[in-house]
Chains A and B, each alone.
Chain A
Amino acid sequence: MSLTRADIENIARLARLELTEAEIPVYVDSLSKIFAFVGELDRAPTTGIDPMAHPMPELAQRLRADEVTETNRRDTFQQNAPKVEAGLYLVPKVIE
């Protein structure tokens, strides 16, 4: 299967990735190759086979009690933030 430049631009937009002009043809080529390769899966007969989402299907997903267990460590966490003010994460203006 072959992807186009428009496909790559659309995927990048969905993935919130800005690509440079030089990157676009590289991804057109390599993603086309990957999807041609992945197309081998069509050979496998899977009618009536359940999709497997978890490698240990015999183990049920565990639930925990709805209790507060974490302490507030905002100041520690915000030491890694690019921009904070008065305990708030700063981003460009969202609503004009």
Chain B
Amino acid sequence: MSAPAPTVAALARGLAEGAFSSVELTRAYLERIAAAQPSLNAFITVTGESALKAAAESDAARAAGRAGRLTGVPIGHKDIFCTEGVLTTCGSKMLGNFVSPYDATIVSGLRTAGTVMLGKLNMDEFAMGSSNETSHFGPVRNPWDTQKVPGGSSGGSAASVAARIVPAATATDTGGSIRQPAALCGVTGIKPTYGRCSRYGMIAFASSLDQAGLITVSAEDAALLLGPMSGFDPHDSTSVESPVPDYTTTLGDSLQGLTIGLVREFFDKGLDAACEQRIRDAIAVYEKLGAKVREVSCPNLPLSVPTYYVVAPAECSSNLARFDGVRFGHRCDSPKNLLDLYCRSRGEGFGAEVKRRIMTGTYVLSAGYYDAYYLKAQRVRQLISADFARAFKECDLLFGPTTPTPAFRIGAKCDDPITMYLNDIYTIGANLAGLPGMSIPCGFVDGLPIGLQIVGPHFSEARMLNVAHRYQQETDWHLKTPSAFA
């Protein structure tokens, strides 16, 4: 078959109409994945055999009249999600041999909905990175320019959707890891409200910030896939007991009367002028659609990066204490004693950035420093959260850029952790406050895509998807495909 249609919605229609079977579709994507792997390195594991088996089962289910709207649609999973019987590495040497004995809840939810898993996508090690350069399995490359980073940590998810080698991919966002790579690769990304999707089987980085979500071509595709990923899960004590709406039914709602807040602190001196122009152009489209625009201020937002680099490493140092070389994961050769086993297994199994964050977290939680760093950061987190709550009294959704610049060159920011951390300056606030956020493509600067960020109040996913969808009906930035992968 010829190059598959770009969206999940179109593929689902094609399957329903019998234009092609899931086996044909899955085979076509597996061929595209194999062709792109040398240039993009987007996959860690391709599960071709089990994908074709699942595709055949979904074709049989359709023939028996048991098809749902996602039956037979192939997707990729970020390698942070546990998949039973399949290698689950989290981008780390530490888990280089880990075959998960169970499925993450969102993985089983999407399978029950009929999707077919194509494989496991590359990512920054333990989701710690903004460029996908910290992966033990090598960097992912940006399909718009393979000398540039795809962003991170969900770099494999974003690059593979952008190159149309998967129709859609799961991803996770702790400080911007869905929205930032979505912006840099010119695709749609959604990080739902904290607690909306179960974290069970999603390898933990910073548990008060981590949230599962999606990278897709369109907001409509995200609306189709988000439902089966969402909802209460008794296996995750922080998952929220709140009904899950059908996100597709409100996509076309009018934007008349919508009040958009432009966050003054998002348009600071660090924002590239050409990127700012693309964001302003996108806002003009919304005004044409009937939205009102006003400026709002979140004065503590500039402190979100230093706050995050206390809170996230603290939680990471606790979570990653489980990797001890005893029950699973990497173990060093011929340990002298138990302490040597712990220290060398961890020293060898973790990469440089993961060790940096574990040590940062260990320090801020250590005796004598807890109040000065950790409690202080938790108090500033409260201030940032209150800023958002105040802003949402004046507007329905907040708009701004997703990133300060387009994608940068591979290797450009590896030597200075602070410069790298500042990539997430506009995205981290939403994680600290548990808010849902999106990034949608809104134009190009020097041939590289730019993302418009939308942040909403808790559980406003339906409204955000509606607002993103209406923009995507007026513009076609989300349908642009890098020429090497067209």
Contacts and interface: CB of A to CB of B under 8 A. Distances in A.
Given A16-B343, A16-B346, A41-B306, A77 B359 contact: no
Nearest to A59: B240
Contact of A92 (B309, B340, B375, B417): B340
A86 interface: no
Contacts of B352: 23, 26
Given A16-B342, A52-B382, A77-B327, A8 B303 contact: no
Interface in B370-423: 373, 375-383, 385, 416-418, 421
A92 B338 contact: yes
Given A41-B377, A53-B378, A18 B417 contact: no
B418 A80 contact: no
Interface SS majority for chain A:
loop
Contact of A15 (B208, B359, B378, B379): B359
Interface stretch (B123-131, B275-283, B329-337): B329-337
Interface in A30-81: 30-31, 33-35, 37-44, 46, 49-56, 59, 61-62, 64, 73, 76-77, 79-81
Contacts of B325: 82
B328 interface: yes
Contacts of A19: 347, 355
Contacts of B208: 53-55
A26 B379 CA distance: 31
A77 B101 contact: yes
Nearest to A20: B347
A14 interface: yes
B365 to A, nearest CB: 9
B417 A34 contact: yes
Given A55-B208, A56-B240, A79 B376 contact: no
B202 interface: no
Contacts of B101: 73, 76-77, 79-80
Contacts of A11: 359, 362-363, 366
B362 A14 contact: yes
A18 B344 contact: yes
Given A59-B195, A79-B101, A38 B310 contact: yes
Nearest to B379: A46
A6 interface: no
Contacts of A14: 362, 366
A38 B347 contact: no
A41 B342 CA distance: 34
A5 interface: no
Interface in B13-28: none
Contact of A17 (B237, B300, B343): B343
A18 B335 CA distance: 12
A88 to B, nearest CB: 11
Contacts of A30: 356, 417
Nearest to A51: B378
B341 A92 contact: yes
Contacts of B331: 82-83
25 contacts: A14-B362, A15-B346, A17-B346, A17-B359, A19-B347, A26-B352, A27-B359, A38-B309, A39-B306, A40-B306, A41-B303, A41-B373, A44-B376, A46-B382, A49-B382, A51-B381, A55-B431, A56-B240, A62-B237, A80-B99, A81-B327, A82-B329, A82-B330, A92-B335, A92-B338
Interface of A: 7-8, 11-12, 14-20, 23, 26-27, 30-31, 33-35, 37-44, 46, 49-56, 59, 61-62, 64, 73, 76-77, 79-83, 89, 91-94
Interface of B: 97-99, 101, 193-195, 208-209, 234, 237-238, 240-241, 300, 303, 305-307, 309-310, 317, 321, 324-331, 335-344, 346-348, 350, 352, 355-356, 358-360, 362-363, 366, 373, 375-383, 385, 416-418, 421, 431-434, 458
